[in-house]
Amino acid sequence: MSEFSTHQSQKIADLTELFEAIIYKQKAAETIHKFQSTTIANITPDDVVIFVHQLVDSGYPMDDIKSGINKLLNVLRRPLDDFRYEKPADDSFFGVCIQNNAQAISHLNKIRPYILEINKKALTSEIKTELITLWTDVQKFTDYYQIKENILFPLVEKYVADYRCISVMWSIHDDIRKNINQLIDILNLNDTDLKHLNRLTGDIFYNIYSIIFREERLLFPVIQKYIPADEIENIWNESVESGFPYINPPKKENVMEKNKVPSDLIELKSGQLTAEQIVLVFSHLPVDITFVDENNKVRFFSTPKERIFHRTNAVIGRDVHNCHPKESVHVVEQIVEAFRAGKKDKADFWISMRNGKRVLIQYFAVRNEHNEYKGVIEVTQEISEIQRLEGDRRILDWEG
């Protein structure tokens, strides 16, 4: 995909000129007119995906990229709407994605009359209660973003050379999640700021519609072109297991054969265990563990009954750079490089979750007997109960 023609290279250059004219407000109307019958009229999903990839690589601030792309896509919307690609079948992976998108729009449409009413009349406690219920239904839609980020995006990185458009999409996912949380919070206040409510509502509506357009008119056509159909089929069961928000189909049989776990013992420095036993030990530890090797590739994560942060098998082999939103990935990279250089061996963070839990996140450098850097372990633990401990409780105090 990155080996594009001279013609396409010119289109990317035109898009760059158009983007900068729009974002810097320098003869935007004239520039749009200049390219209207050429580049704009003949734009393809490939062109936009390559352009955004180069834009992200060029170092533009993410907020500027999001704002500029929003405006650029308004200019490109009609030719992208007219671009023809094979419509996914309803029972295909992308068919299910599109159906869930349609349900999200349906839930948003239920909110519209209330927004009109509260701006014409008043925001009563009854309407607040109704809006909280409706927005909670919309909030469920963000479960679908987990499927994209943890299962679909790794495939895009693997097969699509110019894939960095997904980092922009991920950042918008985060904006949507954050704004819905804020909106529900202010609806729960006795004195709700209507101006703030309207701004959040507008942002959420715009971003959800924007993401749906980008999926169905840009990302899905590019994926269908470059990613083998059987690879898409192979993420069906994992996606269903993760859970589509509104329409979640059943699993399919024989989608992917799992490798059998070997039963022979593995020699460890302090004992011998089967592979199954090793998995059981990790899955019963009261912490989430993720291991990233010295090449910054995710190699393992544990599967306790109650994981704090969502993980799927699609993350295995993924570059850790692509496992975090663009806004925070630089901090992760700084931690890893400090470990690699031997400047640090540990980094601790703690956060409060919306569900009342208190979470400790720790990163540990992994080194071999020669003190060579071999990777990093992320350990995440819910510590609310630990923080409440007082006095002593000894083993002899245990009551069965």
Show Cβ contacts of residue 219 under 8 Å, excluding neighbours closer than 6 positions: 45, 49, 156, 165, 166, 169
Q: What is the pTM of this model?
A: 0.80
- Is the model's pLDDT at 140 over the cut of 50? yes
Give residue 262's pLDDT.
52
- Is the model's pLDDT at 1 over the cut of 90? no
Reduced to 3 states, what is the DSSP secondary structure of residue 365?
strand
Give residue 259's pLDDT.
43
Instruction: Look at residues 365, 360, 367, 388 and name the one whose alpha carbon lies nearest to residue 287.
Output: 360
Give residue 261's pLDDT.
46
Give residue 255's pLDDT.
64
The C-alpha torsion from 159 through 165 and 167 to 170, rounded to 10°, is -100
CATH superfamily label, 266-387: PAS domain (3.30.450.20)
Q: What token pair was written down for 211?
A: 């993401």
Cβ burial, residue 189 (10 Å; 0-12/13-18/19+):
exposed
Give residue 260's pLDDT.
46
Q: What token pair was written down for 388?
A: 């409440």
Give residue 158's pLDDT.
94
- DSSP-assigned letter for residue 343: S
**CA-to-CA distance for 230 and 334, rounded, in angstroms?**
37
Q: Residue 109: which H helix or E strand, with range?
A: helix 93-120
Sign of CA dihedral 173, 178, 179, 183: positive
Sign of CA dihedral 56, 204, 18, 47: positive
Q: How confident is the model at residue 264 (pLDDT cuts 50, 70, 90)?
A: confident
Task: Convert the pLDDT of each residue in 76-129 to its tens digit.
Answer: 999 999 999 888 999 999 999 999 999 999 999 999 999 999 999 889 999 999
Give residue 4's pLDDT.
57
What mean pLDDT is predicted for residues 245-250? 96
User: How many residues comprise the chain?
Assistant: 400
- Is the model's pLDDT at 398 over the cut of 90? no
**CA-to-CA distance for 333 and 377, rounded, in angstroms?**
14
Task: Convert the pLDDT of each residue in 277-335 to its tens digit.
Answer: 999 999 999 999 999 999 999 999 998 988 888 888 889 999 988 888 888 888 989 99
CATH topology (fold) of 93-242: Four Helix Bundle (Hemerythrin (Met), subunit A) (1.20.120)
Calculate what percentage of the chain has a pLDDT beyond 70.
Answer: 96
- Is the model's pLDDT at 24 over the cut of 90? no
Instruction: Look at residues 377, 376, 379, 344 and name the one whose alpha carbon lies nearest to residue 359.
Output: 379
* Cβ count within 10 A of residue 165: 25
Identify whether the C-beta of residue 73 lies closer than 8 Å to the C-beta of residue 52: no
Mean pLDDT of the chain, nearest integer: 92
Domain boundaries, given as residue ranges, for the chain: 6-82, 93-242, 266-387
